């Protein structure tokens, strides 16, 4: 018997990269690889990268630099770069770090086994094509293993929206939806392996328009209703959504589909209409607020989350104030805010930039407001009973941790529950990032 080769994968960026890393590990499993948690004993190191902000992209080169010693000690070690930096920078990566053996863009992962074999033969392998075939169908590899109670499932990929600041349409390509029957088969397979909650993923997941089993075009809501019928699947979530694709049937599903969790990530980016227009977002602050009113009418307890960019080119103090006003009005359970990062090749990169110190100051003010809102909402959970899906043992003996329907982290001391159980928990205390409760 040959000893298995060891694969170390490090994942950056969004949930879609997490999903892709799992698929790549499975595909390389077919090539005799097993995963390892450290680069030190690896035969192959694969970085699954993110290009969304400059810092994220540059981090990859310093990370690669750290592997120089390992590669010198072990010339057989193969180093690969996957993900959005691979797509955006391609050959440039091998030029800057000649020890890299393999560069593979997100749409070419099904070619990874064959590319790995080429590196074993001493060649360099680069593939950043946008091929036609369904990479996920061809990525099936390893025998089925039992897994934890939550899983990601990519249903849609790519983006046609071209927001003026964003690299995703360039790194992930045009919007593509996977067919319904393949998604359902994958969901059933996940449930057989112990999964109870599935988060459907897409860069614009609510623009989903995959082919149904009868050839008709499905909306995301229709897909959710089919998943609702999968026995053993208890919870459905989806991310990330664009305000313009929140269709009526999807809003309605939030009120009527009991497996669909009351949590919605709906990025708005700015509260200023001038900035939203320059961002090419094609919605206004007011249309976004009215949309949230409709969503809350369907599901009053839904927890909203969002993304914000501060310091977008030409953003004034008044524009920024409009963002603060919008945040005050929505009351987010979670919100992620970023300082604008100039991305080469995007239209906003050409516009007059905001003074970095000013942008830093705005980011701090926005984050202060968001933190206060989050804390208020966490505190308001005390005394309420939520349903918790238990995912793992907590840090203390006998403690179990999981997530509520609102995605709050909840832990319970001496919990008479197992991993994968869903149980009602009365919240007794709120800390900065988690809630404590007792089984009700």
Which residues here bind ligand F3S, judged by CB under 6 A?
A: 13-14, 16-17, 50-52, 83-84, 167-168, 171-172, 203
The CB-of-152 to ligand SF4 minimum distance in angstroms stands at 17
Q: What's the rounded Cα separation, in Å, for the pair 60 and 81?
A: 9
Taking CB under 6 A as the rule, which mask of x and - marks residues 193-232 in contact with ligand SF4? ----------xx----------------------------
| Closer Cβ to ligand F3S, 15 or 385, answer by number | 15
DSSP, collapsed to helix, strand or coil, labels residue 218 as coil
Joined together, the tokens standing for residue 109 give 């992962």
On whether the CB atoms of residues 187 and 227 are closer than 8 A, the answer is yes
| Continuous segment of H or E residues that includes residue 339 | strand 334-339
DSSP, collapsed to helix, strand or coil, labels residue 393 as strand
The CB-of-5 to ligand SF4 minimum distance in angstroms stands at 35
The CB-of-172 to ligand SF4 minimum distance in angstroms stands at 8
Residue 311 neighbours by CB under 8 Å, 6+ apart: 339, 340, 353, 354, 356, 358, 359, 362, 363
On whether the CB atoms of residues 304 and 329 are closer than 8 A, the answer is no
Q: What's the rounded Cα separation, in Å, for the pair 78 and 422?
A: 42
Q: Which does 39 bind (CB under 5 to 8 A by kind): ligand SF4, ligand F3S, ligand SAH, none?
A: none
> CB under 6 A: which stretch of 15-23, 164-172, 231-239, 390-398 binds ligand SF4?
164-172
The CB-of-51 to ligand F3S minimum distance in angstroms stands at 4
Q: Mark residue 414 as left, alpha or beta (left: phi above 0; alpha: psi -120 to 50; beta: remaining).
A: left
**Quick one: DSSP state of residue 260?**
B
Q: Which does 78 bind (CB under 5 to 8 A by kind): ligand SF4, ligand SAH, ligand F3S, none?
A: none
Q: Which does 338 bind (CB under 5 to 8 A by kind): ligand SAH, ligand F3S, ligand SF4, none?
A: ligand SAH
Q: Which does 169 bind (CB under 5 to 8 A by kind): ligand F3S, ligand SAH, ligand SF4, none?
A: ligand SF4
In order of 22, 239, 284, 353, the CA distances from 190 in angstroms are 13, 18, 39, 46
By CB under 6 A, name the one of 11, 204, 387, 404 that touches ligand SAH. Answer: 204
| Closer Cβ to ligand F3S, 51 or 283, answer by number | 51
Which residues does residue 150 pair with via DSSP β-bridges, in sequence order? 197
Question: In this structure, which long-range contacts are made by residues 248-252, counting pairs with CB atoms below 8 Å and at least 24 apart in sequence?
Answer: 249/219, 249/221, 249/222, 250/206, 250/219, 250/220, 250/221, 250/224, 251/294, 251/295, 251/298, 252/221, 252/298
**Quick one: DSSP state of residue 75?**
T
The CB-of-312 to ligand F3S minimum distance in angstroms stands at 18
The CB-of-56 to ligand F3S minimum distance in angstroms stands at 7
Joined together, the tokens standing for residue 172 give 């992930």
Q: Does 314 bind ligand SAH (CB under 6 A)?
A: no
By CB under 6 A, name the one of 166, 251, 302, 330 that touches ligand SAH. Answer: 166
Q: Does 271 bind ligand SF4 (CB under 6 A)?
A: no
Task: Catalog residues that contact ligand SAH under the rule CB under 6 A.
Answer: 52-53, 165-166, 168, 203-204, 240, 242, 267, 269, 307, 309, 338, 340-341, 343
Enumerate binding residues for ligand SF4 (CB under 6 A): 159, 161-163, 166, 168-169, 203-204, 242
């Amino acid at each position: 018997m040959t000893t298995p080769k060891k694969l170390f994968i490090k994942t950056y960026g969004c949930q879609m990269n997490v999903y892709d890393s799992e698929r790549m590990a499975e595909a390389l499993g077919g090539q005799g690889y097993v995963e390892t948690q450290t680069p030190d004993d690896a035969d192959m190191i694969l970085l699954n990268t993110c290009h969304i902000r400059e810092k994220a992209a540059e981090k990859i080169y310093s990370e690669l630099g750290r592997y120089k010693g390992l590669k010198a000690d072990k010339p057989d070690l193969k180093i690969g770069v996957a993900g959005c930096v691979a797509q955006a920078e391609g050959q440039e990566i091998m030029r800057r770090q000649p020890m890299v053996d393999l560069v593979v863009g997100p749409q070419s992962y099904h070619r990874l086994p064959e590319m790995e074999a080429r590196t074993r033969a001493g060649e360099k392998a680069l593939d950043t094509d946008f091929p036609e075939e369904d990479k996920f169908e061809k990525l099936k590899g390893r025998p089925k293993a039992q897994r934890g109670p939550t899983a990601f499932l990519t249903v849609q990929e790519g983006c046609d929206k071209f927001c003026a600041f964003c690299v995703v349409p360039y790194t992930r390509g045009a919007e593509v939806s996977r067919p319904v029957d393949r998604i359902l088969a994958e969901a059933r397979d996940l449930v057989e392996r112990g999964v109870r909650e599935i988060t459907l993923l897409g860069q614009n997941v609510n623009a989903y328009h995959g082919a149904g089993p009868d050839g008709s075009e499905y909306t995301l809501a229709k897909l959710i209703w089919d998943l609702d019928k999968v026995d053993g699947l208890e919870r459905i979530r989806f991310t990330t959504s664009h305000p313009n694709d929140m269709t009526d049937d999807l809003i309605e599903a939030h009120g009527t589909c009991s497996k669909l969790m009351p949590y919605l990530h709906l990025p708005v980016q700015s509260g200023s209409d001038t900035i939203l227009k320059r961002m090419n977002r094609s919605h206004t602050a007011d249309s976004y607020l009215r949309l949230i009113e409709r969503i809350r009418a369907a599901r009053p307890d839904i927890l909203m989350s969002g993304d914000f960019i501060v310091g977008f080119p030409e953003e004034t103090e008044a524009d920024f104030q409009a963002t603060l006003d919008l945040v005050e009005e929505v009351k987010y359970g979670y919100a992620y805010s970023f300082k604008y990062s100039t991305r080469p090749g995007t239209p906003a990169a050409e516009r007059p930039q905001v003074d970095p110190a000013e942008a830093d100051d705005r980011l701090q003010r926005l984050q202060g407001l968001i933190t206060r809102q989050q804390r208020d909402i966490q505190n308001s959970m005390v005394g309420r009973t939520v349903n918790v899906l238990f995912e793992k043992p907590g840090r203390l003996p006998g403690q179990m941790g999981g997530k509520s329907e609102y995605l709050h982290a909840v832990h319970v001391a001496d919990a008479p529950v197992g991993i994968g159980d869903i149980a009602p928990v009365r919240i007794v205390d709120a800390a900065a990032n988690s809630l404590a409760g007792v089984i009700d």
